[in-house]
Amino acid sequence: MDQFFTEQRPDPVSSDQESHNTRRIFVDMLQTLLLSAAIFLALNFISARIRIESVSMQPTLYENDFVLVNRLAYKMGQPGRGDVIVFHYPPNPEQEPYIKRVIGLPGDTVEVRDGLVFVNGNLIREPYIKNAPAYSGVWQVPQDSLFVLGDNRNNSSDSHAWGFVPLQNVIGTAEFVYLPPAHWQVLNPSQALAAEPQP
C-alpha cells in the first residue's frame, strides 16, 4: 500500500514574534553595554594604568613598562617605606603623574651622605638602586608629606631636588608591571629597606 508523506513546513513567524525577538536582542545588547561600562568605571575607580616615561626608576622600572596602580591602597592607611607610589607632581599637579619610592614618612629625618641614605639616623639597605647618590643633604619630612627618591638616584627628579610629596597628592601604590611580558613583576615594598641602627 502506497504511503504518502506530507512535507511539514514551519509556521511563518508572525510580525509580533519578530518584533519581540528584535526587542530581546536590543535589551541583551543594552545590558551587555551597561555591564561593560559599569565594570570599566569600577576598574578605573579602584585602579589606574600608567606607562613609564623616564629612566628614573631603573633598574626596577624601565621606559615603556606598563604598571597597574591600586587607587584604594591608602584609603584606610598611609604609604610605608619602600612602597613604589604614583602621585601628582607637587610643583605642577597638572603634569603627568610621577612614580618614585617612599624613603621618608611623616616626621622622619632623611639624610644622604657618602653615597648612603639614613632614616632617623639608621642606614637603610637598598640593593634595588642603580647607583649610589652623588648628592648629600638632610631633610625633615613634614607631618602631612612623604620623602621620595627614584631608584636611579643620580638621574631622577625627586624629593632631593624639589621637596616633599603631600599625602593628598598620592594617587596609589604601583602593584604590578604587566607589559612587556618579559618585565612582569609584583612590586612589593622592599624588605631590604629595613633600617640598620648605627653603632
As a whole number, mean pLDDT of residues 90-115 equals 93
Most confident of 19-28, 83-92, 93-102, 136-145: 136-145
Amino acid present at 79: P
Question: Per the structure block, which three cell numbers stand in for 51?
Answer: 606607562
Q: What is the pLDDT of residue 147?
A: 98
- Cis previous bond, 97, omega within 30: no
Question: Per the structure block, which three cell numbers stand in for 129?
Answer: 638602586
Q: What is the pLDDT of residue 55?
A: 95
Q: Is the dihedral of CA 86, 173, 165, 94 positive or negative?
A: positive
Indicate if the pLDDT at residue 3 is higher than 70.
no
Indicate if the pLDDT at residue 70 is higher than 60.
yes
Q: How far apart are CA 164 and CA 104, in angstroms?
A: 9
Indicate if the pLDDT at residue 4 is higher than 60.
no
pLDDT, tens digit, 9 for 90 and up, residues 141-198: 999 999 999 999 999 999 999 999 999 999 999 999 999 999 989 887 665 565 555 5
Q: Is the dihedral of CA 15, 19, 24, 25 positive or negative?
A: positive
Name the residue with higher pLDDT: 62 or 43. 62
Please give the domain boundaries of the chain with CATH numbers for all domains: 49-196 (2.10.109.10)
Residues labelled catalytic: 56, 100
Mean pLDDT computed over every residue of the chain: 83
- The separation between the first and the last C-alpha atoms of the chain, rounded to the nearest angstrom, is 114
Chain centroid to Cα 179, Å, comes to 13
pLDDT, tens digit, 9 for 90 and up, residues 130-139: 899 999 999 9
Q: Does pTM surpass 0.85? A: no
pLDDT, tens digit, 9 for 90 and up, residues 11-57: 555 666 666 677 777 666 766 665 655 554 545 555 588 899 999 99
Angle at 194 between CA 188 and CA 199, to 5 degrees: 170
**In this structure, are residues 74 and 179 in contact, taking their beta carbons and an 8 Å threshold?**
no
Q: What is the pLDDT of residue 77?
A: 83
pLDDT, tens digit, 9 for 90 and up, residues 115-155: 999 999 999 988 889 899 999 999 999 999 999 999 999 99
Q: How far apart are CA 97 and CA 75, in angstroms?
A: 19
Q: How confident is the model at residue 76 (pLDDT cuts 50, 70, 90)?
A: confident
